[in-house]
Structure 1
Amino acid sequence: MDYTPWTLLVDIGLIGLLLAVGTLLRAVVRPLQTLMIPASVLAGVLGLLLGPHVLDVLPFSDQLGTYSSVLIVVVFTCLAMTDDFDLRKIGRPIASFAGYGVLMYAVQVAVGMALVLLVLHPLLGTPEAFGALLFAGWAGGFGSAAAMGQVFGAAGQSEIQSLAFTSATAGLLVGVVGGIIQARIGAMRGHAKEFAGLRTIPRELRTGVLPHDQHRPAIGTHTFSGASVESLGFQTGLVAAIAAGAYGISQALALLWPGIAFPVFSLGFLLGLLVRGLFRSARATRFVDPESLRSVSGTATDLLVVCGIASIVPTLVSGYLLELAILFAVGLVVCLVLGLVVAPRSMEGAWFEKQLFTWGWATGAVSTGIALLRIVDPRMKSRTLEDFAIAYIPVLPVEIAAVTFVPALVLAGAAWGAVGIWGAIAVLAAGFLVVLARIRRAGDGGTGAEGSGVRDGV
């Protein structure tokens, strides 16, 4: 069947229906609330079960997986247009948080690639691209999974996209279950002083529905009069124009260098930074509303998750069950070592809250980290989110570079280069944390303000 605009409408309608059902399930089914599974994940699982690869009930087109590749360009474009990259805001406590984030991401890249190159590829013949699945699905989440799938798919390794979304789904579940267990243990050992049990989690966080009798935050602010243009239409149009421009640049570069695949999402990020700079130079930033762009980005991410999970091909995944089990087991050990050994010795101020938040982030999504943080810090006294907003600044280049260049290195036959580069970044981040810890101990007179937490761990 030919793909037409009406086909697109049907796909969007089915995705919207699934998202609505997933939202309803999260709002009324208590086990789903306990696990805090996002509505988009529920919708994606329903789409997978009812889609063409399993029961074949829903008439999706064969472009379902492509939508994820398009939506990730939108997400990275919005990121470039909204995030503040002022490194001058980083102080010592935030620096330790940032160093830990860089270490977490770089270790997942290096360990995942090394595991495949040293063990899985020689013993089981696993493709080298498999090594990118740990950081793409766990530290990177569904967005990075879509980006990685796009690059490897363009190079003829279409199975990597299904495997990447499988990795992201598994990471999300590991993050939620493991985080809840850590919250309980941490509370028993006195690290989470604000923890009062899962039943104290705010209702709106469990159900996902904001109460109508309380203040509901706005999703954006109008920057134009409706007599001229709808403000959300302008913001969306700006993002769409940048994303389309990035795709056009990628096509032009493909003509100049046919043997090289340029990730559209990376080009969208760079073009977004350029447009942001032009707006700033022209003193036109008042036309751009960051909150509206974040809403656009969040919507694109939700749709991306639905499309990504629904487009998983179970027959492709079933051929790698042993490899996936080994990869996930190693990833779990890495995250536990970082969280239980490194975090209490390196992070300053509310180390347990920051570690639990980072656990959720390291296994799939920042939203998971926020949900776990609300369990142990319901009144947000630790200021973890405020610190993360700044601490993420140094992590972002490591993440984007990994998503952009690791696939390129693997496809170029230089997979060991990825191990070396991100292994070196991990070593530098670890050294940075050691230096900060020594400075802190020297400032505390050698006692350490968080000595008991360091000794006990979780």
Structure 2
Amino acid sequence: MTDFTPWTLLTDAGLIGLLLVIGTVLRARVGFLQRLMIPASFIAGILGLVFGPSLLGWLPFSDQLGTYSSVLIVVVFACLAMSDDFNILKVKGPVVGFSAYSVLMYAIQVALGMAVVLVCVGPLLGVGDEFGVLIFAGWAGGFGSAAAVGQVFSDAGQPEMQSLAFMSATVGLLAGIVGGLAQAKFGAARGHAKEFSGMHRIPKSMRTGVLDHDDEPEAVGHHKFSGASIESLGFQVSVIVAVSAAGYGVSELLGGWFPDIAFPVFSIAFVVGLVARGLFRATRTTRYIDRRSLNSISGTATDILIVCGIASIKLDMVSENWVAMVVLFIIALVICLFLGLIVAPRTLQDGWFEKQIFTWGWATGGVNTAIALLRVIDPKLRSGTMEDFALAYIPVVPVEVTAVTFVPSMVLAGAAWAVVGIWGAVSVAAVVVLLVVVRGARSAGRTPTAAS
């Protein structure tokens, strides 16, 4: 093993950049990838897996490839804390049902995934309780949560869980894209998708991933400073890097005080980000922060994270547990299909198909997948799903953050059944809210339209 130097980092970054460029070009040129709308970062990750150390060994990645994912998820959570609002009081009206459905989609993956491992998969196949986190960590959470959860288990002496979590996210993303496109065709045939008449109507820019000259480009960010002082993007990056480093510093400090407890850096960075945000607000300098720029930084970190995550999968660890993972993936698929095709049409009222396919996207791969699928069936975003989800997702945030932060630690502490109880109770609460909303809609004469 060679020493890790700044030049090693540059080499790794160059290889990752090259893979992303190749992935982007392939998406823009290869019809098969366009029809499936495979993200460029996913293509790059698969290329890194095939040509990297796990298989052919042609790409000279360092042994720190998997560690980059742990660092990048800290950046993502720092951006999240600095850019999103979490006022749960904003959720009201018809959005409540959509919100409850979204909470149910996430919480049931946590509770049922753990319960199945404890009751069935674990005793029959001899896997540990930690396998119960793979569904929500890879599917509902996507690559970000996979990196976060994998980091906790790696720090606890179970590095194989990171590869398994990334494999779960990889399968989840594929299931989300393929399943979402299949549902789009189903919805068009049944008349559920009001704005979608077939795959041939998908805009070229969505298929290739390259904006046409006629498309009005969306701003990546806004300048907040004069270049005579500091480059605006440089300031936004500086804030996020400082928050991320502070999160790492606090975790190291806490680790020294409480050596028997593992403190996830990403969750501490999230808290530090909230504190930093409060300081900006208290000093009346929040105008210095540009949310669009932070979202771009977060998106870039996520793209690189996906490449590193897939490329760093250790296939030998996956092959040793493939039966258990296949069982879990089937269960995850059944959960998402049942909620999307049975529950959604009976509870989400107007625009149920657009709402459920958006939820399907983030429940299998992430918000980027959700937006891509929504734009397939609702190209001009006339359904209002994006606006509704912006509010509906607010109650999901604490459910997601607490699951990613505490479930791995609870499992490591032997409290796996507590995970089932807590997130099972959240699932039941979400069902109760859905039933109340449906009853209220019927009383008001807005009976939800069931699937025909």
Percent of aligned pairs sharing the same letter: 61
Deviation at 1:257, TM superposition (A): 0.7
Deviation at 1:123, TM superposition (A): 1.2
Deviation at 1:115, TM superposition (A): 0.9
Q: 2:250 — aligned with what? A: 249
Q: 1:347 — aligned with what? A: 348
Q: 2:402 — aligned with what? A: 401
Q: Distance in 2 between matches of 1:290 and 1:336?
A: 34
Amino acid at match of 1:431: V
8 Å Cα contact 1:26-1:207 kept in structure 2: yes
Q: Distance in 1 between matches of 2:324 and 2:182?
A: 26
Q: 1:50 — aligned with what? A: 51
Q: Distance in 2 between matches of 1:222 and 1:301?
A: 23
Amino acid at match of 1:273: L
Q: 1:205 — aligned with what? A: 206
| Residues 89-118 of structure 1 deviation map (CA, whole Å, 9 limit, x = unaligned) | 322221111111100000000111011111
Deviation at 1:182, TM superposition (A): 1.3
Deviation at 1:455, TM superposition (A): 5.0
Q: Distance in 2 between matches of 1:182 and 1:261?
A: 41
Amino acid at match of 2:240: V
8 Å Cα contact 1:339-1:355 kept in structure 2: yes
Q: 2:413 — aligned with what? A: 412
Deviation at 1:196, TM superposition (A): 1.4
Q: 2:281 — aligned with what? A: 280
Amino acid at match of 1:307: C
TM-score by length of 2: 0.98
8 Å Cα contact 1:346-1:433 kept in structure 2: yes
Q: Distance in 2 between matches of 1:144 and 1:419?
A: 19
Q: Distance in 2 between matches of 1:290 and 1:278?
A: 16
Q: 2:323 — aligned with what? A: 322
Q: Gaps spanning 5+ residues in structure 2: where?
A: none
TM-score by length of 1: 0.97
Amino acid at match of 2:450: V
Deviation at 1:184, TM superposition (A): 1.4
Deviation at 1:189, TM superposition (A): 1.6
Q: Does 1:143 align with 2:155?
A: no
| Residues 72-102 of structure 1 deviation map (CA, whole Å, 9 limit, x = unaligned) | 0000000011112233332222111111110
Amino acid at match of 1:178: G
Alignment of 1:55-134 (within 5 A): 55-134=56-135
Deviation at 1:360, TM superposition (A): 1.0
Deviation at 1:376, TM superposition (A): 1.4
Amino acid at match of 2:160: E
Counterpart selection for 2:450 from 431, 451, 454: 454
Q: 2:221 — aligned with what? A: 220
Q: Distance in 2 between matches of 1:295 and 1:181?
A: 30
8 Å Cα contact 1:103-1:425 kept in structure 2: yes
| Residues 331-382 of structure 1 deviation map (CA, whole Å, 9 limit, x = unaligned) | 1111111111111121132011100111111111111111111121112111
| Residues 141-190 of structure 1 deviation map (CA, whole Å, 9 limit, x = unaligned) | 00000001100000011111111111111011111111111111222222
Amino acid at match of 1:281: A
| Residues 222-276 of structure 1 deviation map (CA, whole Å, 9 limit, x = unaligned) | 1111011111111001100000000000001011110110100000111101111
8 Å Cα contact 1:92-1:436 kept in structure 2: no
8 Å Cα contact 1:93-1:349 kept in structure 2: no
Q: Gaps spanning 5+ residues in structure 1: where?
A: none
| Residues 187-210 of structure 1 deviation map (CA, whole Å, 9 limit, x = unaligned) | 222211221111111111111111
Q: 1:432 — aligned with what? A: 433
Q: Distance in 2 between matches of 1:175 and 1:153?
A: 27
Amino acid at match of 2:258: W
Q: Distance in 1 between matches of 2:318 and 2:177?
A: 23
Distance 1:323 1:301, change over 3 A: same
Q: Distance in 2 between matches of 1:88 and 1:118?
A: 38
Q: Distance in 2 between matches of 1:455 and 1:397?
A: 31
Runs of 4+ aligned structure 1 residues displaced above 3 Å come to: none
